[in-house]
């Protein structure tokens, strides 16, 4: 099974396309001739990217501004595309964000919004889109999880749990539809320089001190290996050799040993975070 061949009445719906990994995946798909539907909240950015992709790659690039954490807006996405004469052949669930810090210092509404975006939207959009793919016996789904999916992560407890959900859900979905013409891949990036840290109130500089350089992978590389992996019908894509070694180790290490270590090293926990807070 490979990526469906592009057709004028089909589209690749990419959530989180206004920035970072999602924008890079949209660029990668368009460069391979796929029409794209760009979804996020910041319409101006989507419009700019749609213009770029249509001009550079001569593909149909649609924009739908949508808060994927809002069930009503999500429910309108596929009907809106059907009205434009488009069915979804490729679904990329990329929209997501993290909070940083201990649960006891967190804002409950922020944590729930993260679960709605990272988990609820993935389940909702997969359920809505995969039914049509199975009926047509063609389709591909790329769900963006994280290397944080492979073990609990103190300092980002809700985020890592949300990505563990995405990984588990994606693997099960793949097994369900694999012999029905639909391919499903989980993408688990390690650190990628995007607006991700900034969206959580951190700078890349905050993280660069604690996250070793060999783990960082450029968004364009993540997008290329992700779309290659989807096209090659791979269950799991972890970009970067160092990340693959670390995730294997994380899966094997006993949590009783691993989690206190991770808690000590997380920049949003313990003495390191108190120093950051005190210095402003
Ligand atoms: N960067 C990393 O180190 C890293 C590592 C592993 C996994 N990931 C995952 O990769 C994915 C993309 O992150 P990124 O690194 O590219 O971060 P980013 O640059 O901050 O991009 C996040 C994207 O998600 C969209 N988004 C967030 N909330 C949304 C909502 N409620 N409705 C619609 N769109 C929403 C944002 O668009 P708007 O703000 O315009 O809505 C933006 O396009 C996320 O799922 C993240 O968890 C990132």
pLDDT tens digits, 88-135:
999 999 999 999 999 999 999 999 999 999 999 999 999 999 999 999
Is the CB of 68 within 6 Å of ligand 1? yes
For ligand 1, atom 23: residue with the closest CA = 16
> How many angstroms does the Cα of residue 16 sit away from the middle of ligand 1?
5
Place 273 in a pLDDT band, splitting at 50, 70 and 90: low
Q: Which atom of ligand 1 is nearest to the CA of 187?
A: 7
Which of the residues 50, 98, 139, 159 is marked catalytic? 159
CA distance 224 to 259: 32
Going along the chain from its start, the domains and CATH numbers come out as 10-278 (3.40.50.720)
Q: Is the sign of the CA dihedral 6, 11, 17, 22 positive or negative?
A: negative
> How many angstroms does the Cα of residue 20 sit away from the middle of ligand 1?
7
169 in catalytic set: no
What are the Cα distances from residue 82, in Å, to 9, 88, 129, 166?
9, 9, 12, 27
Look at residue 8 and give its three-state secondary structure: coil
Stated length of the chain: 280
What are the Cα distances from residue 138, in Å, to 4, 96, 98, 134?
6, 26, 33, 7
| pTM for the whole structure | 0.96
Give the pLDDT confidence of 48-75 residue by residue, as tens digits.
999 999 999 999 999 999 999 999 999 9
> How many angstroms does the Cα of residue 197 sit away from the middle of ligand 1?
10
User: Strands, DSSP E only, in the chain?
Assistant: 10-15, 36-40, 61-65, 87-93, 139-144, 182-187, 236-237
Is the CB of 216 within 6 Å of ligand 1? no
């Amino acid at each position: 099974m490979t990526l469906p061949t592009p057709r004028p009445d089909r589209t690749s719906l990419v959530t989180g396309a206004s920035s970072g990994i999602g924008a890079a995946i949209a660029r990668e798909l368009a460069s391979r001739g796929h029409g794209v539907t760009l979804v996020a909240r910041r319409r101006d950015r989507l419009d700019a990217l749609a213009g770029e992709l249509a001009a550079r790659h001569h593909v149909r690039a649609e924009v739908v501004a949508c808060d994927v954490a809002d069930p009503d807006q999500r429910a309108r996405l596929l009907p809106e595309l059907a009205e434009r004469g488009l069915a979804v052949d490729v679904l990329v669930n990329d929209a997501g964000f993290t909070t940083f810090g201990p649960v006891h210092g967190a804002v409950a509404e922020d944590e729930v919004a993260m679960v709605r975006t990272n988990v609820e939207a993935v389940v909702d959009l997969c359920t809505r889109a995969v039914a049509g793919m199975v009926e047509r016996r063609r389709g591909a789904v790329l769900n963006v999880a994280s290397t944080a999916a492979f073990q609990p992560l103190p300092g980002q407890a809700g985020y890592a749990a949300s990505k563990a959900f995405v990984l588990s859900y994606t693997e099960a979905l793949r097994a369900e539809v694999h012999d029905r013409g639909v391919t499903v891949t989980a993408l688990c990036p390690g650190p990628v320089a995007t607006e991700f840290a900034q969206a959580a109130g951190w700078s890349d500089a905050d993280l660069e001190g604690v996250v070793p350089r060999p783990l960082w992978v450029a968004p364009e590389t993540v997008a290329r290996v992700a779309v290659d992996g989807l096209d090659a019908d791979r269950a799991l894509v972890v970009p970067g050799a160092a990340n693959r070694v670390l995730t294997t180790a994380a899966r094997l290490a006993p949590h009783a040993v691993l989690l206190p270590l991770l808690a000590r090293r997380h920049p949003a926990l313990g003495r390191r975070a108190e120093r950051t807070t005190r210095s402003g």
